[in-house]
Structure 1
Amino acid sequence: MAVTADDLDAAMSDVVARLRPATGLDWAARAGGLEWDCWHTAEHIGDCLLSFAGQLVARPQERYVRFMANADKDASPAEVLEFAEAGARILAATVRTSGPTVRAYHPTGRADPEGFAAMGCAETLLHGDDVARGLGLAIDPPRDVCARVLTRLFPEAAQELAGVDPWAALRWSTGRIELPGRPRPAQWRWRGAPLSG
């Protein structure tokens, strides 16, 4: 059930395929239930994924690498989506070239390449969906990717929600939706550290 760079590529390809036709819409619209607009949410995806790649390259043990990645202020929706995609592809390449014993800081535990790939998938899919919802759309990501990401980042929820659609379970685990008999979590935290310790 390992999350791989291929999963990150698949997640981003799905998000780009859903959002590219909508780049002519108003990306100043609020992104789903977030306070950010669609443009800034897409920018956040690119920044997160480039940050994760930086962590794997520099391997700090107690902090983030000190940089911010931003899209140009005058970037069009298509260009800010391109920035997000570039972040995903760079993170995927970095995951592919990082050995399995590599560890780097993340607030949810010193993460390995699989952890950063899983967190990259989650950022891509969840915030990609936020953007889509802000534009009146929705994404429909590969369920096998969602299942692997859920198992890696939320192992307890993956067991408890074994019969639930993995995309719905991932969205519930990150406080985005309610499930039958399960109110939306007010707080949540995924696991960045390897499951084996």
Structure 2
Amino acid sequence: MTVTADDLDTALSSLVAALGPATDADWSVRAGPLEWDCWHTAEHIGDTMLSYAAQLVARPDGRYVRFLATADRDASAGEVLEFAETGGRILALVVRGTPAGARAFHPTGRADPEGFAAMGCAEALLHGEDIAHGLGTALDPPRPLCARVLARLFPDVAAELSDVDPWAALRWCAGRIELPGRPRRECWQWRGAPIGG
């Protein structure tokens, strides 16, 4: 099950569809279980997406490219959501233009373009749901997308979760919810490196 730049575009479209109608709400409220508020969580999405793109472009050894992308302090909720989406669309373009065999640093293993696409999907979906939760709405991504991201980033548990709704399974893997018979995960980490190297 491969995760592609098209999947990242789909995840970003889900993010915007869920949060766009809520840009008139108060984005200074806490984003679900996070310490950040909704505005700063959206900013984090944009920064992370641009950071992943930079990794694939520069491919430094053993570290991130040294920069931090931030939204303007006076950016509205709609503008910071635009920043998050823009960062993700740039990552999708970079994934499309990077050879499949390329590898770049990530703390969870040297990731290939598919790995960065999957991590970008997870950032958009999971943090998008955090924001949605804070704003009293919900994000409802396509389940086949969630299943592919789950299989790529959490291969150690994906098979045993095959009978669980893929969106719920992905949120459980990332410590967002509990599942029947499965307490909420306190410690978790996805796999950035390709399966098998």
Q: Please, what TM-score do these two structures have when normalized by structure 2?
A: 0.99
Structure 1 segment 48-87 matched on structure 2, within 5 A: 48-87=48-87
Aligned to 1:128: 128
| Alpha-carbon separation, structure 1, partners of 2:105 and 2:187 | 22
Q: Is the 8 A contact 1:61 1:110 kept in 2?
A: no
Structure 1 segment 156-171 matched on structure 2, within 5 A: 156-171=156-171
Aligned to 1:43: 43
The offset of 1:196, in angstroms, is 2.0
Structure 1 segment 178-193 matched on structure 2, within 5 A: 178-193=178-193
Aligned to 1:4: 4
Aligned to 2:174: 174
**Coordinate RMSD, CA, aligned:** 0.5
For 1:131, the aligned partner's letter is: I
The offset of 1:61, in angstroms, is 2.2
Deviations 1:7-41 (A, max 9, x none): 00000001101111100000001000101000000
| Alpha-carbon separation, structure 2, partners of 1:157 and 1:184 | 14
| Alpha-carbon separation, structure 1, partners of 2:17 and 2:35 | 24
| Alpha-carbon separation, structure 2, partners of 1:102 and 1:59 | 9
Deviations 1:30-85 (A, max 9, x none): 00010100000000000000000000000112000000000000000000000000
Instruction: Confirm whether residue 100 of structure 1 aligns to residue 100 of structure 2.
Output: yes
Deviations 1:128-157 (A, max 9, x none): 000000000110001111000000000121
Deviations 1:86-141 (A, max 9, x none): 00100000000000111000000000000000000000000000000000011000
Q: Is the 8 A contact 1:49 1:120 kept in 2?
A: yes
Structure 1 stretches of at least 4 aligned residues deviating more than 3 Å after TM superposition:
none
| Alpha-carbon separation, structure 1, partners of 2:105 and 2:111 | 6
Structure 1 segment 112-127 matched on structure 2, within 5 A: 112-127=112-127
Q: Percent identity?
A: 72
| Alpha-carbon separation, structure 2, partners of 1:184 and 1:31 | 18
The count of aligned residue pairs is 197
SS at match of 1:60: coil
| Alpha-carbon separation, structure 1, partners of 2:191 and 2:14 | 24
| Alpha-carbon separation, structure 2, partners of 1:72 and 1:157 | 39
